[in-house]
Chains A and B, each alone.
Chain A
Amino acid sequence: MRAYVFRRMLLLPITVLLLSIFVFGLIRLVPGSVIDARLSAGFPGTADADDRAKLEAHFGLDKPVHIQYVNWIGQVFSGDLGTSWLTKESILDNFGRRMPVTVELLVLTLLIYIPLGIGTGVWSAVRQNRADDYSIRFVTILFLAIPNFWLATLVVVIPLVLWGYAPPLPYQQLWEDPGKNLIQMIVPAVVAALAGAAVLGRVARSEMLEVLRQDYVRTAYAKGLAARIVVTRHALRNTMIPLITLIGLVFATGVAGSVIVEQVFAIPGMGRYLVQSLLTNDLPVVQVWMLIFGAAFVLVNLLVDLSYGMFDPRIRFQ
């Protein structure tokens, strides 16, 4: 196990490096350049080749692509994420301000998402083919189909129309006013969590149904254990491995969900910034943001793989 952990840790930087090449390459393919936007912003038609060359030199775009890549990656690893083409703001500063917001949203989302998904799934499996199973399944199927951006809009609009209530704005940082911040964050987190919880709940249910048919579960019942103990101690533990595989997916849907809800609820997080930067072709920002999202996802998947040992001793001693 230790050798395995070591090997995976060693692969991590290589994966991230490959990821950076992929992101960099993809970004170079985006048509339309910031230079054109800059030149046409002043006095259209007055720009000449000289201005163009100056701007290209300014942004470092006059060098060959591979040199550009090496310069960029060198900067990133020395802690300088570059500056935005549009606002000329340091991306690192911006990142420091926005990252806690998105991390808070993600943590809240996962805190709702995972217990809700596994809880409803297990409940549904234990009460298979009873009224509560049917109602849980119906609600689950429905929430899989409701687009989260529509749900987010409704959650904002309905209280506004009925009671004239709107959540307090502007956004309050957690450390400045925790109460107000939680009021602002809890609804977006629930909206971002619901669709994912539905996916998780369905898998949890079918895994649980399979485990509940195993001989050792019958044995546990036969020796007189309470149903609660059988389900939580004996059955749930064995459904954990397939469910943990899903955590990577959970994280991905969480990130995608946060991009959407940050937009609807005007939360100044990373997802909102990514969308804005994409819309304005602010490529250095998009580049760094994609790299961070990708690296975070790779890291989560690594942690998922390593956590198998926690739930299955057979894997731990291999």
Chain B
Amino acid sequence: MSDIPPSLVVAEAADRVQFDVYGLPVRASWRRRGLRLLRQHPLGAFGLFVALFVIFLAAFGPLLTTDPAAVSAEILAGPSGEHWFGTDRLGRDYFARVIAGARLSMSLALGAMLIGVSAALVLGMVSAYAKGAVDLLLQRVIDMMLAFPGLVLLLLLAQVIGRGWQSVALGMGIIFSVSMVRIIRASTLSTLAESYVEAARIVGASPYRILWRHVLPNMGPPLLIYVTTLLGAAILFEGALSFLGLGVPPPEPSWGRMLTEARTLWKYPHLSIFPGVAMTIAVLGFNLVGDSIRDILDPRLRGLT
């Protein structure tokens, strides 16, 4: 390869680019561009695979396993052909429980994300558009909430809102929206300064239409970076909350609570290993996707990480 003149290499690469009748390069199809992205970011592709696998297990896993709540006489058995991950102190199949834990974790993470993103979008865009007193008040409230470590505030919110999975999702959603409002507000402010927004206002577009049609589409990239990273964080938050006894109550199988219960049964290490590994793999998958998305969308970092 090394003795081929550079000009020829360029020509070879140009071979694959197709041109239309005007001599302009044709944009590759969605599929081809997607495949190219995956090839360029092998770690991200691996993460995407893991994340999709976890989501698949969360959605369909419980249909494929035995009943996670079914007790049996075979208590605290180690992993075997019949019980892949062994059984817990009530003789429940641990494999089925770990899979059911994935369902709880993912529904909480996705629910929290949905709540967090929509609240952050509304608050951030309104705050930036309204300016003045509304903006000031909202931002000071956000400041107050940012003054607490996320986990500590989440503990208190869990106590205020309650313990059902919807409540936990709402609590995490609030924490997430707090961390996103500022970014949304900042991007809204910079978008509002664009001349096309001014043009829209001149032709008489309503504030609602300006925010919906002209500002919202610009929020995609900054949000996307946050969303995947926060999905991983949501799994960790749920785990910590359940681990401290403030999460979704039993009998719902949760990875965090399984780990707390495993602490007193330390003679049976399979109880603490499997939920922990499951959590690590799930978080790792989402983090890797988040990293790659940041690389792709934030050109400033391109080639650095």
Contact = CB atoms under 8 A, between A and B. Distances in A.
B147 A297 contact: yes
Contacts of B26: none
Contacts, number: 135
B162 A154 contact: no
Interface in B254-305: 256, 259, 262-263, 266-267, 269, 272, 275-276, 279-281, 283-284, 287-288, 291, 301, 304-305
Interface in B171-220: none
Nearest to B281: A145
B246 interface: yes
Nearest to B147: A294
Interface stretch (A39-47, A229-237, A238-246, A274-282): A274-282
B280 A146 contact: yes
B82 to A, nearest CB: 24
Contacts of A256: 149-152, 240
Contact of A31 (B160, B266, B280): B160
Given A141-B287, A147-B239, A149-B239, A30 B155 contact: no
A274 B155 contact: yes
A294 B149 CA distance: 8
B236 A147 contact: yes
Contacts of A76: none
A150 B151 contact: no
A298 B287 contact: no
B151 to A, nearest CB: 4
In this complex, the member of A142, A144, A202, A206 whose beta carbon has the largest number of chain B beta carbons within 10 angstroms is A144
A253 B147 CA distance: 12
Given A142-B284, A209-B304, A157 B148 contact: no
Contact of A260 (B159, B160, B243, B288): B243
A26 B156 contact: yes
B246 to A, nearest CB: 7
A22 interface: yes
A297 B263 contact: no
A242 to B, nearest CB: 13
B271 to A, nearest CB: 10
B144 interface: yes
Contact of A252 (B140, B149, B291): B149
Given A142-B284, A259-B152, A279-B245, A150 B266 contact: no
B116 interface: no
Contact of A298 (B147, B150, B152): B147
Given A154-B272, A252-B150, A259-B151, A278 B144 contact: no
A210 interface: yes
Nearest to A286: B156
Interface string B135-172: 00000110111011111100111011010000000000
Contact of A157 (B151, B160, B272): B272
Interface in B53-99: none
B24 to A, nearest CB: 34
Contacts of B160: 26, 29-31
Interface in A217-274: 252-253, 255-256, 259-260, 263-264, 274
Contacts of A263: 243-244
B276 A150 contact: yes
A275 to B, nearest CB: 5
Nearest to B284: A145
B101 interface: no
Contacts of A206: 301, 304-305
Q: Which 9 pairs, one residue from A and one from B, show the smallest C-beta to C-beta distance?
A: A145-B284, A150-B276, A256-B151, A145-B283, A252-B149, A22-B144, A294-B147, A256-B149, A157-B266
27 contacts: A22-B145, A31-B162, A144-B232, A144-B284, A145-B283, A146-B276, A147-B236, A147-B239, A147-B276, A147-B279, A149-B240, A150-B259, A150-B275, A150-B276, A156-B263, A161-B267, A255-B152, A256-B150, A259-B152, A260-B243, A264-B263, A274-B155, A275-B155, A275-B245, A293-B148, A293-B149, A297-B147
Interface of A: 15, 18-19, 22, 26-27, 29-31, 141-142, 144-150, 153-154, 156-157, 160-161, 202, 205-206, 209-210, 252-253, 255-256, 259-260, 263-264, 274-275, 278-279, 281, 286, 290, 293-294, 297-298
